[in-house]
Amino acid sequence: MTEEIYLTGITTTGTPHIGNYVGAIRPGIAASKDQSKKNFYFLADYHALAKAEDPDRIHQSTLEIAASWLALGLDTDNAVFYRQSDIQEIPHLTWILTSMTAKGLMNRAHSYKAVVQANEEKGNKDPDQGIMMALYSYPILMAADILMFRSTKVPVGRDQKQHVEMTRDIAQRFNHHYGDILVLPEAVIDDNTATLSGLDGRKMSKSYNNTIPLFAEEKKLRKLIMKIKTNSLEPGEPKDPEGSTLYEIYKAFATEDEVREIEKRYADGIAWGEMKQVLFEYINEHIKPAREEYNRLINDPGIVEQALQHGAERARAISAPYLKEILHALGIRKLG
């Protein structure tokens, strides 16, 4: 049996929040230590361009995301950790794939269609208003990320599943014409990964502006947790853990015994203010050692850069010869 190759991409927009931590970072870090698998993790900074972010934000976000994963113990000896833009073969492969991706396939991308629909709803005459090719071709860049390292498994959220399927379509078409060169990946969707609610009770998300940054300083963390929405039950009144954001977040961090203990306190009518304090103290203790390391890295970004360069070297040892092989198959090779 061939070895499974896992590949995880993280777009460099935004500051990691506790929802990212529970849903993606924590399981990703655990997986990075698994010696039985090959694991690739990368910072998708070219993808960030499709979101038209401010340059300073992209730069800062790249540092914050890389520092977060490193501070939390990503195993960079076992896993390969790199920045997309350091691997020149990726944009190179993107162009190759672009020449064998049907335009009709891209027309069907949910991510593109959602913007077209929004334009239509706004009554815009041009359904493509404001849409850059980077958004339209986003799935091709993603296909290059995946195919470049012969990935067999791609852990993604439901919203990205279609992109992995498109990668298969593109790879299949390539292989049909040029021989069995690209490896068809599969999306891995974990329905058990927790999604957390944010301050206002909606899903924690940068776009709702309701997040708790993973490495917020103690004071800020406390302040944000105090803002989490609750219902109006008084101290002493029994409370239902289901539907309580405080409980949900606590549960994502605490052990089973601790969760059972808190459920008892809910039944006994714990005051919301007290539950907020419990949650703050718990998360703060849990995060503290990694936060110290995170702050050290943020203040000394050269260390982070070095880790990324080390990863890029390892990644390019794979991508450079593979790209040559691909170009050769396409007839792009030396004449004599």
Task: Find the binder of ligand TRP among 66, 146, 254, 326 (CB under 6 A).
Answer: 146
Burial (CB count within 10 angstroms: exposed 0-12, middle 13-18, buried 19+), residue 126: exposed
Residue count of the chain, please give it: 336
Q: Which of these segments, 1-9, 61-69, 225-233, 296-304, binds ligand TRP (CB under 6 A)?
A: 1-9
Distance in angstroms (rounded) separating the CA atoms of residues 285 and 290: 10
Q: Which is nearer to ligand TRP, 23 or 291 (CB)?
A: 23
Reduce the DSSP state of residue 42 to 3 states and report it: strand
Q: Is 166 in the site for ligand TRP (CB under 6 A)?
A: no
Reduce the DSSP state of residue 17 to 3 states and report it: strand
Task: Find the binder of ligand TRP among 38, 47, 222, 239 (CB under 6 A).
Answer: 47
**Tokens in use for 241?**
């853990």
Q: Which is nearer to ligand TRP, 41 or 247 (CB)?
A: 41
Angle formed by the axes of helices 218-226 and 272-299, to 10°? 150
Task: Find the binder of ligand TRP among 5, 6, 11, 253 (CB under 6 A).
Answer: 11
What does the per-residue mask of binding to ligand TRP show for 86-125, with x meaning CB under 6 A?
----------------------------------------
Task: Find the binder of ligand TRP among 49, 66, 154, 216 (CB under 6 A).
Answer: 154
CA neighbours closer than 13 Å in the CB half-sphere of residue 283? 32
Q: Is 44 in the site for ligand TRP (CB under 6 A)?
A: yes
Distance in angstroms (rounded) separating the CA atoms of residues 15 and 323: 33
Burial (CB count within 10 angstroms: exposed 0-12, middle 13-18, buried 19+), residue 183: middle
Q: Is 24 in the site for ligand TRP (CB under 6 A)?
A: no
Query: Whose CA is closest to 330, among 152, 24, 98?
Result: 98
Q: Is 160 in the site for ligand TRP (CB under 6 A)?
A: yes
Task: Find the binder of ligand TRP among 90, 135, 156, 214 (CB under 6 A).
Answer: 156
Extract the runs of DSSP E, i.e. beta strands, from 1-137: 5-11, 38-44, 80-83
- Number of amino acids touching ligand TRP (CB under 6 A): 12
Q: Which of these segments, 3-11, 203-211, 291-299, 314-322, binds ligand TRP (CB under 6 A)?
A: 3-11
Q: Is 254 in the site for ligand TRP (CB under 6 A)?
A: no
Under the rule (CB under 6 A), what is the footprint of ligand TRP?
A: 7-9, 11, 44, 47, 142, 145-146, 154, 156, 160
